Amino acid sequence: MLDPGLPRISAIVPNYRYAPYLPARLESIARQTCPVYETLVLDDASPDDSLAVLEDYRRRTGREFDLVVNAENSGSGYVQWTRGARMARGDLIWIAEADDLAEPDFLARARQMLEDPDVAFVFCDSSQRDETGRLLARSYGHYYDTVEPGTLRRDLVLEGGDFVRRFLSIKNLILNVSAVVWRREALLAALAATEADHTAMKVACDWKIYTHAALTGGKVGYVAQALNMHRRHSQSVTHSRDAQAHYDEIIAVQDHIAARVALDAETLARRETYRAELRKQFGLEEV
């Protein structure tokens, strides 16, 4: 607020039943070396003691945040993303999911890449921990390497179409929205374009949102350092969803991308290999 030259960053914290993680999440936002203009906590009618935890945190720390509480559950995290993005007053938006964490330099590193006005969004690598805090992996590098070995081991900025072709056409390599900082207009446009999918798709709508933003918003930036911590829950949506529905959503997004980006024969072959791997993983060999 004291330096009009700094971009205004809105941190949006969608929460549903993540009371134990909220104090640490809010601290990780407050301790960013790049100042946050506003923090919006959107509670989706949590049945736990999230609201009491938030009020206790506010009382103990004196930290300010806006709290918006739904009277009824929206039924979709993407609906909450949209509500938060529309409410936000920032130039840049960080959807900081309530159970994840960030290193203090996360926003500063992302903001550096977003100084290029043609960059629509920036994401970084992530470590992973389970619901108890146990470290599962220090990076997603092993997963990135299944698509293009070694490339996402260094910082880069790519044209949106090139990024989609190389890193989103086979599988989704942006595995956690908390690792993304968006230019507000790019996020709003991508959410509006995918609105029909926000309740219909349960596991792959974020992939479609990233695709739209990359193809229409300009460039995509990537920070190779794991500045985000992704919480992996053993009973997540991905694990509990019907296997056929999960598979169908993946195919739908792959086809959506193929209709918009020219894919060479090698990429199409690798896409078919990935589909076969998924059918085996999901027990859908006869699909």
Q: Is 4 among the domain residues?
A: no
Q: How many domains does the chain have?
A: 1
1 pLDDT more than 60 = no
Q: What is the tens place of the pLDDT at every residue in 250-270?
A: 999 999 999 999 999 999 999
Q: Is 1 among the domain residues?
A: no
Q: Is 112 among the domain residues?
A: yes
Q: State the average pLDDT over residues 270-279.
A: 96
Q: What is the mean pLDDT of the chain?
A: 95
Q: Is 71 among the domain residues?
A: yes
- Where in the sequence is the domain holding 200, given as residue range(s)? 9-282
CATH number assigned to the domain comprising residue 26 = 3.90.550.10
- pLDDT value at position 237? 45
CA separation, residue 92 to residues 5, 183, 266 (Å): 13, 5, 36
- pLDDT value at position 242? 86
Q: What is the tens place of the pLDDT at every residue in 187-220?
A: 999 999 999 999 999 999 999 999 999 999 999 9
235 pLDDT more than 70 = no
C-beta separation of 190 from 212 below 8 A: yes
Q: Is 2 among the domain residues?
A: no
Q: Is 287 among the domain residues?
A: no
Strand pairing class (180-183; 119-129): antiparallel
